[in-house]
Amino acid sequence: MFPTEKIQSSSMETILFYCAVLGILLFIGVVLRVKVKFFKKFFISASLIAGTLGLLLGQYGLGVLPAEMTESWGALPGALITVVFAPMLMGVSIPNPKKMGRLIVPHLLFGYMGECIQIALPFIITGLVLIPVWNVNEMFGSIVEIGWSGGHGTAGGMVDVYNRLDWSDGGPLGLTSATVGLLVGIIVGMVIINYGVRKGYTSVIKNVQELNVNQSEDILPRAKQPSGSAVTMNKDVVESLAFHGSLISIAILIGWVLQKLLGGLVPGLPLFPMAMVGGLVVQLVISKTKFAEAIDTGCLHRIQGLALEFLIMAAIASIKIPVVIEYAFPLSILMVVMTLVMVWYFFWAGPRLFGKDWFEHAIVNYGSLTGVTAVALMLLRTVDPEMKTEAGTGYALRAPFISPIIGGGLLTSILPVMAHNYGSLNVGVVFLILLFVLYILARRLGFWTRTT
């Protein structure tokens, strides 16, 4: 047992101690990720391993870690998600959609229509079936899009949002949904690929013997280690990392002001999407000054990455297992139904939106809709190892038009608020209508083609 009783729970020393334990778990997670083939094969990240280890050692497992520690970890994701989102629009150059329209638009349509399905159907099922039968919360349907497209980072960050909306069960369920989504992305994605190769849908890989998941080196040799960030400020002035941290701090402060101003109009509005807007304000202002040259997106990504790794660990390690067990039946219904629907959507929308090389374009988006970017790229590299198609380029170019809004963006963050204020069925119907509008738009613009 850790000697936490000798440390005052309110002291900074306690916080430092708890974070140190998280750091130890992360190191163990890294070692397991490198050494255990299973984790590497299924692209299980070190932070997910570390969080699961913390859960097993916590109050719902072996009881080695005290409840006070794991409960304190549960408060971290709500703060760390703000650090992840604040710099999202800093130093970003938006590609010209007119020049790349024929490549970007099908990816955008596939992504937005898929998101509408992930929002509309779970909310409608919740309103028509799960609430009458199991009396679940109106926000129950939000855990699919938050967990699947948003991933563990977004699900962990939404824990605080659910708590403030008086549904503390939402956090553990969202994280469970994210775990299921990751498995659906990897396992079902590989089943789809094997089926697609056998049916001749793929453009590059022509038989199953050619399938080979490209496993890159875990520990990069020094000769292959890329530069993670640039030093943009003279160290006599300030450490470059600290300078970028100050920009994130300004963005968070602006977001806090916006949250207070809009809180009356949108009750329960979370801080982290407003911090992202604050980051955009910082970008617009600083781009007019000489300090624009001092912004390095690589440095911002390092800060985001650090916050995200600890966010995922803390969120997983603090999952309340009894809550997941309590909701086992309604949760299983949503997970099974959405798995079947996402497979159907892949084969329905893929060939109609993308045409040439449709399988490669659709599989990378399927991976993003069910798991995380790493899963999306893993599936793409499996069917297009040398990136001979334009699927990877289209997927990358769509990111600035997708990430800030859905799949963990602004719209994702307010889904629980919308369900809380207007009811799950109403929210589901609105997004079903939006799905239909996007479908009509795709046909009118000539991006939806018939297949034989």
Do residues 76 and 293 lie in contact, with contact meaning Cβ atoms separated by under 8 Å?
Answer: no
Q: Is residue 300 part of a domain?
A: no
Burial 226-255 (b: 16+ CB within 10 A, else e): eeebeeebeeeeeebbebbbebbebbbebb
pLDDT of residue 120: 98
Q: Is residue 29 part of a domain?
A: yes
Helices (H) and strands (E) in the chain, counts: 22, 0
Q: Is residue 32 part of a domain?
A: yes
Token pair in block for residue 137: 């919360």
Q: Render pLDDT for 390-427 as a digit per residue (tens, 0 to 9).
A: 998 888 888 878 888 888 888 998 999 999 999 999 99
Q: Is residue 8 part of a domain?
A: yes
Q: Is residue 47 part of a domain?
A: yes
Q: Is residue 255 part of a domain?
A: no
pLDDT of residue 243: 94
The residue range of the domain holding 53 is 1-73
Average pLDDT, the chain: 88
Token pair in block for residue 171: 């956090």
Q: Is residue 48 part of a domain?
A: yes
pLDDT of residue 337: 97
pLDDT of residue 452: 42
Q: Is residue 92 part of a domain?
A: no
Q: Render pLDDT for 186-204 as a digit per residue (tens, 0 to 9).
A: 889 989 999 999 999 999 8
**Residues contacting residue 172 through CB under 8 Å, at least 6 positions apart:** 319, 320, 321, 323, 324
What is the crossing angle of helices 189-199 and 373-383, to 10°? 20
pLDDT of residue 9: 46
**pTM for the whole structure:** 0.83
Place of tokens 């988006």: 365
Do residues 306 and 46 lie in contact, with contact meaning Cβ atoms separated by under 8 Å?
Answer: no
Token pair in block for residue 164: 């403030």
pLDDT of residue 10 exceeding 60, the answer is no
Total domains present in the chain = 1
Report percent pLDDT > 70 for the chain: 93
d(CA 107, CA 205) in angstroms, rounded, equals: 21
Q: Render pLDDT for 44-93 as a digit per residue (tens, 0 to 9).
A: 889 989 999 999 999 999 999 999 999 889 888 888 888 988 888 888 76
Write the single-letter amino acid at 41.
K
**Cα→Cα distances 407→41, 352, 358, Å:** 25, 22, 22
d(CA 361, CA 349) in angstroms, rounded, equals: 11
